[in-house]
Amino acid sequence: MNVVREQVGHMVKIEVETTNELEVLQAIEAKVDVIMFDNATPDQIKHYINLVPSEIVTEASGGINLETLPLYKGCGVNYISLGCLTHSVKAIDLSFLLEGIIMKFLTKVQSIESLPEVYREMTTEEKRSRIYEIKKQLGRRLFIPGHHYQRDEVIEFADVTGDSLQLAQLSKANKEAEFVVFCGVHFMAETADMLTTDKQKVILPDLKAGCSMADMADISQTEYAWGELQSQFGDTILPLTYVNSTAAIKAFCGRNGGATVTSSNAKAMVEWAFTQKQRLLFLPDQHLGRNTAFDLGIELEEMAIWDPIQRELIYDGNKENIKVILWKGHCSVHEKFTVAQIEDLRKTSPDTNIIVHPECTFEVVQAADLSGSTHFIIETIRNAAPWTSWAVGTEMNLVNRLAQQFSDKQIISLNPNMCPCLTMNRIDLDHLLWSLEELVEGKLHYPITVDPKTTEEANLALKRMLERV
């Protein structure tokens, strides 16, 4: 890559074919122009899309035909290749089209908005200085909330830090701010927009800052599943959704009598749900749902899984025994913590306390010493005795920050090879500065808006939660 760039610069577009997540990450690191996902499933592609910076074009290829095309349409790629259209056609029949196709493709690539080169040319100190200057210029008109998982270089400029719902509520409380530049991911900015006034504008510095778990439950999948489950179980199910979900999923729960939950209040909300209906559908994180229900005394044998891709209920037994239906979704960061990592640590450092987030798998949570929300993890370590050792099963940026903040304790990641959440890491100094400079020029760069109907129904789900915790 470096040799090619030195020879031709950016005049020639470079495309790389990838077959797994590691290759995707390597292509991103190499700063290619186009990444092809070869023979990837729709779920895999949705995950990969959340890793790829907005300036890189994406293409899905391999194993896609006219029947499976609808499954790939909503994955977020720029292009979908269907070899089935050309496999039986002689190349000579298409040769006259190639020049026009290539020109159209290159035009499409060049028209995609990418980070202006000026930001890549600035030094870190120049960017920091300019951000501080703009913050001073805009004063109280600007509010920058920063999620716990953000890069340190972004957290430096955050007015407040916290989890997703907390930041949305703080945005709502800040009536002076005209602009909320939300340093988090898309669903968090949606929640902030729904809770703030129409006069306040919520901005996400990079539209590709998404959440793979939230994307694992879209509204069409959910409505289909709801219809199927209603036909099997009748009016016995209440939907609950983790706040790590899209506004559309929150609205679905709101209009169907359900509510949102956080990792801090999930137990209280599940208990409430069972006072309303015989069963519950837990979206979109199966692990938080399973861990929470088990802690409340519900047996694993009383839990089923709804697979949105296969469109089927997975359960081996009498369906009348089902109490909890878990949506087949997960956090790509927390699912990378394993029991093997815990077992290794027990052997090499038996005195180390192991604390994990409940988005981890059931087996990992059971093997750990403690589990709880991000707030629980932070406060547990804050209040721990000096010189104690902790292995933390959550996002790496937060783990590193805890180690710096509480230097009187030994704090490491449970997974020594863990990378930060790549979708959170999309927001960097470059994109933050770009958003702020656009504001100074009177432009809203990547505003996040949720329509009034969705806002009304989603706020109903949020209200039901906030009234009970």
CB-side exposure of 322: number of CA atoms within 13 Å?
25
Q: Are residues 239 and 195 in the same domain?
A: no
In a domain, 469, yes or no: no
The 10s digit of each residue's pLDDT in 237-255 is: 999 999 999 999 999 999 9
Mean pLDDT for the stretch of residues 426-454: 93
Structural tokens at position 314: 């997975």
Question: Could you tell me if 26 and 49 lie in one domain?
Answer: yes
What pLDDT, on a 0 to 100 scale, did the predictor assign at position 33?
84
Q: Do 295 and 349 belong to one domain?
A: no
- The per-residue pLDDT for 326 is 98
Same domain, 86 and 41: yes
Same domain, yes or no: 382 and 405 = yes
The more confident residue out of 78 and 365 is 365
387: confidence class by pLDDT, cuts 50, 70, 90:
very high
Q: Return binding residues for [4Fe-4S] cluster.
A: 211, 331, 421
pLDDT at 109 over 80: no
Higher pLDDT, 67 or 147: 147
85 within some domain: yes
Residue 409 lies in a domain: yes
Instruction: Collapse the DSSP code of 462 into the 3-class scheme (helix H, G, I; strand E, B; otherwise coil) and give the result.
Output: helix
SS3 content of the chain, % helix, strand, coil (to 5): 45, 15, 35
Output the pLDDT for position 83: 63
Same domain for 188 and 294, yes or no, is no
The pLDDT-based confidence of 458 (bands split at 50, 70, 90) is very high
Other beta carbons within 10 Å of 407: 10
| Residue 225 CB neighbour total at 10 angstroms | 22
Residue stretches of the annotated binding site for iminosuccinate: 147, 164, 242-244, 263, 357-359, 374
Residue 105 shares a structural domain with residue 12? yes
Please check the confidence at residue 87 and state whether its pLDDT lies above 60.
Answer: no
- Of 288, 306, 331, which one is at a domain's C-terminal end? 331
Strands 79-80 and 142-143: unpaired
Starting at the edge strand found earlier in the chain, the sheet holding 410-413 runs: 370-371, 353-356, 389-393, 410-413
- Cα 199 to Cα 196: distance, rounded to the nearest angstrom: 8
* Residues contacting 411, CB < 8 A, separation 6+: 381, 389, 390, 392, 399, 402, 403
Asked if 293 and 314 sit in the same domain, the reply is yes
Inform me whether the pLDDT recorded for 454 exceeds 90: yes
Q: Is the pLDDT of residue 201 over 70?
A: yes
- Within a domain: residue 465? no
Query: Residue 374 corresponds to which amino acid?
Result: T
Kindly state whether residues 326 and 345 are assigned to the same domain: no
- Which residues in 122-227 belong to E strands, given as ranges? 142-143, 145-147, 160-162, 179-181, 201-203
Q: Which residues contact 168 (CB under 8 A, 6 or more apart)?
A: 145, 188, 191, 192, 194, 195
Residue 199 amino acid letter:
K
Q: Identify whether the C-beta of residue 59 lies closer than 8 Å to the C-beta of residue 18.
A: no
- 313 & 206 share domain: no
End-to-end C-alpha distance for the chain, whole angstroms: 53
- In this structure, the number of other CB atoms found within 10 A of the CB of residue 310 comes to 9
Q: How far apart are CA 306 and CA 314, in angstroms?
A: 6
d(CA 183, CA 425): 10
Does residue 466 lie within any of the structural domains?
Answer: no
Instruction: Name the binding residues.
Output: 147, 164, 211, 242-244, 263, 331, 357-359, 374, 421
* The pLDDT of residue 96: 39
Which residue has better confidence, 454 or 93?
A: 454
| CATH number of the domain where residue 54 is located | 3.20.20.70
**367: containing domain:** 335-413
Q: What pLDDT, in 10s, does the model give residues 426-439? A: 899 999 999 999 99
* Boundary of a domain, candidates 95, 111, 127: 111
| In contact, 263 and 359? CB cutoff 8 Å | yes
Query: Do the beta carbons of residue 377 and residue 148 sit within 8 Å?
Result: no
Question: What is the tens place of the pLDDT at every residue in 406-418?
Answer: 999 999 999 988 7
Counting Cα atoms < 13 Å in the Cβ hemisphere of 358 gives: 23
Please tell me whether residues 17 and 106 are part of one structural domain.
yes
Cβ 400 vs Cβ 419: under 8 Å: no
Domain C-terminal end among 331, 363, 385: 331
pLDDT, average across residues 380-384: 97
- Residue 418: helix, strand or coil by DSSP? coil
Least-confidence region, from 6-15, 323-332, 449-458: 6-15
Instruction: Give the predicted TM-score (pTM) of the model.
Output: 0.76
Any domain includes 468: no
Q: What torsion, rounded to 10 degrees, do the Cα atoms 260, 262, 268, 273 define?
A: 30
Question: CB-based contacts of 17: which residues, under 8 Å, 6+ apart?
Answer: 36, 38, 61
Question: Percent of the chain having pLDDT more than 90?
Answer: 65
Section 209-226 average pLDDT = 91
- In this prediction, residue 79 carries a pLDDT of 83
Instruction: Tell me the average pLDDT of the chain.
Output: 88
Residue 419 lies in a domain: no
Per-residue confidence (pLDDT) for residue 384, from 0 to 100 = 97
Q: How many CB atoms lie within 10 A of CB 358?
A: 27
- CATH, residue 238: 3.40.50.10800
Please give the tally of structural domains in the chain. 4
> Quick check: 106 pLDDT over 60?
no
Question: Do residues 269 and 277 lie in contact, with contact meaning Cβ atoms separated by under 8 Å?
Answer: no
Q: Are residues 351 and 327 in the same domain?
A: no
Task: Specify if 313 maps to a domain.
Answer: yes
Per-residue pLDDT band for 13 (boundaries 50, 70, 90) equals confident
pLDDT digits (tens, 9 = 90+) for 35-82: 999 888 888 898 888 889 877 889 988 878 777 777 887 788 888 887
Distance CA 355, CA 376 (A): 10
